[in-house]
Every structure is written in structure tokens, then in C-alpha cells.
């Protein structure tokens, strides 16, 4: 049996990859537009609607604002900020 146009288990469909790219772009744009968040200090990656934030920010308020902005984006299922650290 040959199935075309369907993603295999563990693979992303083209549509999902486009959605993830769009989510990443929107999150990065929201960081750039927000004076409380340093867009250059935070790396954003999205996989199947899960946004992963990483990097080092100045304080906990900036970290929480970044998480809040990411969570507010349409299509975001969950935000993982375990690798988004605050400067010591």
C-alpha cells in the first residue's frame, strides 16, 4: 500500500512545518516589538505547536514576559522555557 501526502509517525507534515515557522516568526516579532524583552537574547524554536525558548535574559520579569507573549500566539499548544535562564 502506498500512501502519499501523509506524514509518517514522528514526522511533520508540510502544513505543520509552515505553521511552526509562522508561529516562530510571530513570537520573534512580538519579542522585537516589546520593550521588556530582548529579542536578540532569546532563541525561539517551534515543533508541532510547542514553542521552545532558550537563552539568557536580564531578569525574571523579562523571562515571564517572554513566556506570556509566546503563550498568547495563535496556534501555540505549549511553551517550554526550561532553557530560558536568568543572568546570575
Range of the domain at 53: 14-86
Q: What is the pTM of this model?
A: 0.82
Domain presence at residue 80: yes
**What's the CATH code of the domain at 54?**
3.30.1340
* 3-state DSSP percent of the chain in helix, strand and coil, to 5: 40, 25, 35
Taking alpha carbons only, the member of 83, 69, 58 closest to residue 28 is 69
pLDDT one-digit tens code per residue, 6-27: 444 456 677 788 899 999 999 9
| Within a domain: 35 | yes
- Report the share of the chain in percent with pLDDT over 70: 86
Query: Per the structure, how many domains does the chain have?
Result: 1
Query: What's CA 36's distance to the chain center, in Å?
Result: 17
Amino acid at each position: 500500500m502506498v500512501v502519499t501526502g501523509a506524514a509518517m509517525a514522528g514526522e511533520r507534515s508540510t502544513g505543520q512545518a509552515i505553521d511552526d515557522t509562522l508561529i516562530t516568526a510571530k513570537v520573534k516579532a512580538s519579542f522585537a516589538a516589546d520593550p521588556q524583552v530582548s529579542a536578540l537574547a532569546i532563541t525561539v524554536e517551534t515543533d508541532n505547536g510547542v514553542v521552545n525558548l532558550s537563552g539568557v535574559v536580564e531578569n525574571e520579569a523579562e523571562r515571564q514576559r517572554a513566556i506570556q507573549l509566546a503563550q498568547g500566539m495563535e496556534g501555540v499548544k505549549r511553551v517550554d522555557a526550561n532553557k530560558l535562564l536568568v543572568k546570575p
